[in-house]
Amino acid sequence: MIRVAVIGASGYTGAESIRIILRHSEAELVYLTALPEECGAVDEIFPQFKGRCNLQIEPLDFDKLRGKADVALCCLPHRVSMEFVPKILDAGLKVVDFSADYRLKDTAVYEKFYEAKHTDKANLEGAVYGLPELFREQIKDADLIANPGCYPTGALLAVAPLLKEGLIETNSIIVNAVTGVSGAGRNPSSKFHFPNMNENLFAYGVGSHRHMPEMEQIASEIAGCDVQILFQPHTGPFDRGILSSVYCQPKGKVSSEKLLKLYQDFYGSEPFVQICSDAPAVKDVAGTNYCHIFVTCAKGKILAFSAIDNLVKGASGQAIQNMNIIFGLDETLGLA
C-alpha cells in the first residue's frame, strides 16, 4: 500500500484527493495536514466524509511525516508550497505539488506573474510537469511533480496534436475557457456568494491570467518553437468543469476528417482522453478524470473543444494519476 499524506487538506483539492484515495485499492491516507486554524476531524470539516474517514487534519510536523508516508499530495497555495516542498523531499517523500511554484521554468516569468521571489530554484530544475499524456516517461522517474494548472490541462490537451504536428500558426491560438466555481477555491468572497454567482457568467483576468505563461511554456516545448496564446478565462454558474473552446489558424489546408484521425491516433491508447464526434459537455466529465475532446474546421479556422473536471483531471485526479505512474501502479487505479 502506498502511504499518502495530503498537505493542505482543508481546501477543495485536498478534499477531492481524500475522496479519490479513499477508494484507491493500493493507496491509503496516513496523514492529513493544514494550518492550525483549519485543523480538526476530517468528517467535521467535510461532513461528506462521515463514516468514510476518521482521520484528523493536523498541523504539519516534518518529523512525523518522515517514515510515515511515501508520497505527499501537496495542495498548498502558490508561494507557500516552495517553502514546504524542500522539507518534504528532505523527509524522503515523493511530492506531487498542486501549486504553480514548480511549473514555470523561467523564474523571471514566475516572479512577474506570482509577484514573489522564487526561493527553491534547486528543486525547480528537476521538477517534471505532470501531464502524463505528454510527459509520462519523465514522470516515471521524478521525485517532484509540478501538477499542471486546471486551465492548462484542458487547453494543452486540446491543442497538443496540432502543435506537435506543426499544423497551426503558433501565434494564432485563442483559448476561451469557462470554469465552474470550485476553481475559485473554498474561501468565501462577494463575487462567489451564491446570490451573486448563481445565474451569472463573466470573464475575468483579461490579458493577465497566471495560467497564460504556463500554457505558453508547455505549448512551446511541444511545438519546439515559441508559441503565443491569448487565454481568456470565465466563471460560470456550476460547481465543476472547464470547457475550453480553442480557435487557431491552420498553416495550410486541413479537413475535419484528417484532424479527427490525427487526434484519434495521438491519444489512441490514453485511458483518460476520449475523442468525441461532437462538442463535449462538462457534465459528462464531472467527477471523473476524463478529458473529452472534439476537433473540427470552420470558416478557415481550426476549432478544438475540451471538457475536464477542474478538481479531478484539473487537479487531484491528475495528481493521483501521476502518483500511480511514479509508483509503477496501473495508472487508472482509484480513477476509473
| Cell output for 98 | 498542486
> What letter would DSSP give residue 76?
P
User: Does residue 193 touch its own copies according to CB under 8 A?
Assistant: yes
- Nearest 5°: CA angle at 157, between 155 and 162? 95
What gap in Å lies between CA 79 and CA 98, rounded to an integer? 11
Q: Residue 299 burial (CB < 10 Å; 0-12/13-18/19+)?
A: exposed
What gap in Å lies between CA 213 and CA 231, rounded to an integer? 9
Coil vs helix vs strand at 235:
strand
User: Does residue 240 touch its own copies according to CB under 8 A?
Assistant: yes
Number of neighbours of residue 226 by Cβ within 10 angstroms: 10
User: Does residue 228 touch its own copies according to CB under 8 A?
Assistant: yes
- Find the binding residues for its own copies in span 45-104 (CB under 8 A): 47-48, 50-52
Would the CA dihedral through 4, 7, 11, 12 be positive or negative? negative
Among 236, 250, 251, 260, binds its own copies (CB under 8 A): 236
Among 10, 13, 153, 232, binds its own copies (CB under 8 A): 232
| Cell output for 283 | 457534465
CB of 195 to its own copies, least distance (A): 4
- Among the listed residues 202, 208, 248, 241, the one whose alpha carbon sits nearest the alpha carbon of residue 227: 248
Among 61, 117, 204, 257, binds its own copies (CB under 8 A): 204
CB of 184 to its own copies, least distance (A): 8
122 or 206: whose CB is closer to its own copies?
Answer: 206
User: Does residue 112 touch its own copies according to CB under 8 A?
Assistant: no
Among 118, 136, 245, 327, binds its own copies (CB under 8 A): 245
CB of 314 to its own copies, least distance (A): 14
Residues belonging to the chain: 336
117 or 193: whose CB is closer to its own copies?
Answer: 193
| Total binding residues toward its own copies, as defined by CB under 8 A | 77
Tell me if 260 sits within 8 A of 275, measured CB to CB: yes
151 or 290: whose CB is closer to its own copies?
Answer: 290
For its own copies, what does the binding mask look like between residues 140 and 179, x meaning CB under 8 A? ----------------------------------x-x-x-
User: Does residue 336 touch its own copies according to CB under 8 A?
Assistant: yes
Alpha-carbon separation of residue 121 from 83, 110, 308 (angstroms): 11, 11, 31
Active site residues: 150
CB of 61 to its own copies, least distance (A): 27
- Find the binding residues for its own copies in span 252-311 (CB under 8 A): 271-272, 274, 276, 279-288, 290, 292, 294, 296-299, 301, 303, 305, 307
